[in-house]
Amino acid sequence: MVSTASIQTRELERLYAQMLRIRLFEDEAHRLFMRNEIEGSIHLYQGQEAVAVGVCSLLEPPRDVVAATYRGHGVCLALGSEPARLFGELLGRENGLCGGRSGSMNVVDLEHGLLGCFAIVGGSLAAATGAALASKLRHDRGVAVAFFGDGAANQAYFHESINLAAVLGLPIVYVCENNQYGEFTPTAAVTAGGSIAARAAAYGLPGVVVDGNDVLAVRAAAAEAVERARSAGGPTLLEAQTYRHKGHSRHDDPRRYRPAGELEAWLERDPLAAAVARLEPEAAERMAAAAAREIADALDEARAAPPADPTRPASATKEPS
Amino acid sequence: MSYETSYRLAVRDALAEELERDSTVVLLGEDVRIGGVFNATPELFDRFGPERILDTPISEMGFTAAAFGAAVRGLRPVVEIMFGDFLGLVLDTLANQAAKYWYVSNEQASVPLTVRTTVGAGARFGAYHSQTPVGWLLGIAGLKIVAPATPADAKALTKAAIRDDNPVVVLEHKLLYGRKGEVADADAPVERIGAAAVRRGGGDVTVAAALASLEHSLTAAELLAGEGIEAEVIDLRSLRPLDRATLAESAAKTGRLVVVEEGPPTGGYAAEVVAAVVEAAGPTPVRRVTMPDLPIPFAASLEDAVLPGPDRIAAAVRSLVGEPATVPR
């Protein structure tokens, strides 16, 4: 006889392990970025892991699909993308998820249900809305999830997509990853009305605020929303309150725009620390060792892969062979 | 086999045949249920119902971007954008999402999205409902643009766009909707996008045009024939990709090129046709007949003065024929 408590513990272990993989991946990506082994621009997810993991743990890709943002590594990994292939993409290698063509900000991994990471703010809302439309018209019982940042809530895509999904009753969950900053600007300074979730009411939808640093709370709220979508109950807007531990990208020092003590206060509420406190120390150590090994091996594999091959035939269009 | 119909109903018939043939084809747009403001989609709703013919909010940006997502996920959406002038609202989807997806995703999925839109001046619709904004689209790798000038092509190119696995913009000229002509039956083979058509043979000058400018060019060619100048008139049909081979072959024969475009003088297809011909056929005397670098005016007297009509085309040809051609004939 397995107790309810032990089932919950096993579930939390599984979610924690996912969050830990993301944390370690991102810490490694940050090191590679700061020493220019990763070129261009990346946007890190440390601090927000509970949002991607809590939501994606409920989905059934590839029937269900997700559109993520340019801060998308966490969602990729939570959906099951191979870390070696994600590192490969960031490093511009042939083994990358998109063969080095996309880079960090625009990863697509349809096999794992990732419609894409969208580097135009708000693009994820619209693309996922279309995926939900396809599911509805094809009657495949698939659900689409759009992750988007607080900044995207002020884009036309937010309002146009949610309105369209509401009038068509589409199977979609809109998940706002409210990390309190749009690039360097505090969300509150540029967002009218005081609440993104409250905007749902204007479209006649449920709008739910959830603690985005509590993976079980995110999972519970998302479970209700996914079930609503799957049972033809229409869209839901979830607003996960969370925090970006790092800066926006490379060329910003968050100390320039964050009040003193704010980061420290959020670090007290680190989503991984909150989860691990509820696990057996031995189990946590075992998971930490396994995740560290997985990420190290993935990086080794990506580094060993050849650079993306410029002589590979390329066409911007798909033509009949 | 063929039958006679209008340009407008040729578009409708193309849609109906593709909706019938392929259950993944859906039509989205403003007022498409009752036929759209140009009445190019009448009776489709009655025949195919609310899951195939979807009226949208007036939010072109949102529903076109959604159509992109649906195309990645197995539908073959056709979006109607009421006026080409509104394409500015959907450029993010076209340029940044739909057209890049095949390449950037490393060929995980293509985007079989068709965007139909009504373009063209001469209807006194003013600066915001008269443009043919080809220049906004030409620089987008991964995008195709077709421009039917006849009822036959309104059907053939619409079907070709829907069958194509890539995003395609279909430009329909509002002054052509009432034109009548023979169009192919449902079982005619569907072409691949990219072929121009020689609409009139001639050895003295090549005149390349699209949409309503084709009619004006053919009228000019008749005027010129009376003066002993034989123009070869090419209907571009596909603006991206251009049919470089047909253009180069004609220009190599005539040694002179006039391109007619109902659009601004800078950055349109006329410039691209000139470049393509010069690259392929060597130095060639050219003229572009376009609209001036102005917004399109409303008043009849103002609008007529900026349209590239037969007289201006004929004048451009005469001025070219006064110069030596590049090839001995």
Answer yes or no: do B229 and B174 share one domain.
no
B328 in any annotated domain = no
Same domain, B19 and B167: yes
Tens-digit pLDDT profile for residues A155-210: 999 999 999 999 999 999 999 999 999 989 999 999 999 999 999 999 999 999 99
Domain boundary among B184, B213, B230: B184
Domain identity same for B94 and B180: yes
**ipTM of the complex as predicted:** 0.96
| Identity of the residue in B69, B105, B141 whose CB atom sits nearest the CB atom of A98 | B105
Q: Do residues B110 and B237 share a domain?
A: no
For range B289-314, the mean pLDDT: 97
The reply to whether B232 falls in a domain is yes
DSSP string, B306-325: HS--HHHHHHHHHHHHTSPP
| Average pLDDT of the residues in B202-215 | 98
> Given A93, A112, A244, A258, which residue is catalytic?
A244
| φ/ψ (deg, to 5) at B209 | -155, 175
Cβ neighbours of B144 in A, within 8 Å: 317
What is the number of other CB atoms lying within 10 angstroms of the CB of residue B248? 19
Alpha-carbon distance of A169 to A167, in angstroms, equals 6
Task: Tell whether B32 and B159 lie within a shared domain.
Answer: yes
End position of a domain, from candidates B184, B212, B231: B184
Chain A residues with CB inside 8 Å of B24's CB? 138
Q: Is residue A232 situated within a structural domain?
A: yes
Average pLDDT score, chain A: 95
Helices (H) and strands (E) in chain A, counts: 11, 8
Helix (H, G, I), strand (E, B) or coil at A120: coil
Listed as own residue / partner, the contacts of A119-123 with beta carbons closer than 8 Å and 24 or more positions apart are: A119/A70, A119/B96, A120/B92, A120/B96, A120/B97, A121/A69, A121/A148, A121/A149, A121/A151, A121/A152, A121/A155, A122/A148, A122/A152, A122/A155, A122/A156, A122/A157, A122/A158, A122/A161, A123/A67, A123/A157, A123/B65, A123/B92, A123/B96, A123/B97
Least CB–CB distance from B65: residue in A135, A157, A316: A157
Per-residue tokens: A73: 């590594």
Mean pLDDT of A134-163: 97
Residue B81: which CATH number?
Answer: 3.40.50.970
Kindly tell me if the per-residue pLDDT of B179 is higher than 90.
Answer: yes
Q: How many domains does chain B have?
A: 2
Confidence band of B326 (pLDDT split at 50, 70, 90): low
Best A101, A317, A321 residue to mutate vs chain B (most B CBs within 10 Å) = A317
Determine, yes or no, domain membership for A25.
yes
The Cα B88–Cα A76 span in angstroms is 32
CA–CA distance, A22 with A83 (Å, rounded to integer): 9
The helix, strand and coil proportions of chain A, stated in percent and rounded to the nearest 5, come to: 50, 15, 40
**Is B97 contained in some domain?**
yes
What are A263-287's pLDDT values in tens digits? Answer: 999 999 999 999 999 999 999 999 9
Peptide bond into B57 cis (omega under 30): no
**Over residues A224-239, mean pLDDT:** 98
Same domain, B129 and B206: no
Provide the residue count of chain A. 321
Whether A147 is covered by a domain: the verdict is: yes
Q: Is residue B1 part of a domain?
A: no
CATH number of the CATH domain containing B286? 3.40.50.920
User: B192 lies in a domain?
Assistant: no
Average pLDDT score over residue span B114-129: 97
A257 is catalytic: yes
Query: Which of the residues of B are catalytic?
Result: 60, 129
| Residue among B192, B118, B199 nearest B157 (CA) | B192
The yes-or-no verdict on residue A139 having pLDDT over 50 is: yes
pLDDT tops 80 at residue B71: yes
Q: Does residue A319 form part of some domain?
A: no
What number of other Cβ atoms are within 10 A of residue B175's Cβ?
16
Report the number of distinct structural domains present in chain A: 1
**Do B90 and B132 fall within a single domain?**
yes
- Section A92-104 average pLDDT: 98
CA distance A50 to A44: 14
Chain A residues in contact with B101 by the CB 8 A cut-off are: 108, 116
For residue B76, list its beta bridge partners.
B25
Query: Do B149 and B88 belong together in one domain?
Result: yes
> Any residues with CB less than 8 A from the CB of A277 and at least 6 apart, and which?
none
User: Within a domain: residue B190?
Assistant: no
Asked if B15 is an interface residue toward chain A (Cβ–Cβ < 8 A), one would say no
CATH number of the domain residue A262 falls in: 3.40.50.970
CB contact under 8 Å between B74 and A134, yes or no, is yes
Q: Kindly indicate the confidence band of residue B325, based on its pLDDT and cuts at 50, 70 and 90.
A: low
Q: Are B269 and B236 in contact (CB under 8 A)?
A: yes
Check pLDDT > 70 for residue B328.
Answer: no
User: Does B171 lie in the same domain as B299?
Assistant: no
Task: Examine the domain organization and report whether B19 and B166 are in the same domain.
Answer: yes
* Interchain contact, A116 vs B101, CB within 8 Å: yes
**Do B150 and B9 contact (CB within 8 A), yes or no?**
no
Q: Is residue A317 part of a domain?
A: no
Domain that holds residue B64: 8-184
Per-residue model confidence (pLDDT) at position B224: 97
Contacts of A148 (CB under 8 A, 6+ apart): A69, A121, A122, A124, A125, A158, A174, A175, A176, A177
Assigned domain for B326 exists:
no
Q: What pTM did the predictor assign?
A: 0.96
| Residues B56 and B150 reside in one and the same domain | yes
Q: Answer yes or no: is B109 within a domain.
A: yes
What CA–CA distances, in Å, run from B175 to B8, B20, B118, B273, B297? 10, 28, 10, 24, 17
Give the C-alpha separation, A228 to A265, whole Å.
Answer: 35
Give long-range contacts, CB 8 A cutoff, 24+ apart: A36-42.
A37/A91, A38/A90, A38/A91, A38/A104, A39/A92, A40/A103, A40/A104, A41/A104, A41/A105, A41/A249, A41/A250, A42/A73, A42/A90, A42/A104, A42/A105, A42/A249, A42/A250
- A314, part of any domain: no
In a domain, residue A276? The reply is yes
Place of tokens 């090129």: B257
Tokens representing A206 are: 């449920």
Does residue A221 lie within any of the structural domains? yes
- Token representation of residue B31: 């007022």
Residues B20 and B136 reside in one and the same domain: yes
Of A109, A130, A164, the CB nearest to B68: A130
pLDDT band for position B329 (cuts 50, 70, 90): very low
What sign does the CA torsion over B280, B283, B289, B293 have? positive
Residue corresponding to tokens 């279309």: A130
Q: With contacts defined as CB-CB under 8 Å, which chain B residues touch A111?
A: 108
Distances (CA, A) of A11 to A60, A247, A284, A321: 17, 31, 13, 47
* pLDDT tens digits, one per residue of B72-83: 999 999 999 999
* Residue A165 lies in domain: 4-304
- pLDDT 10s digits, B230-272: 999 999 999 999 999 999 999 999 999 999 999 999 999 999 9
Measured distance CA(B30)–CA(B158) in Å, rounded: 19
Q: Is B25 on the interface with A (CB under 8 A)?
A: no
Out of A115, A134, A157, closest to residue B75 by CB: A134
Question: Which pLDDT does position B327 carry in this prediction?
Answer: 55
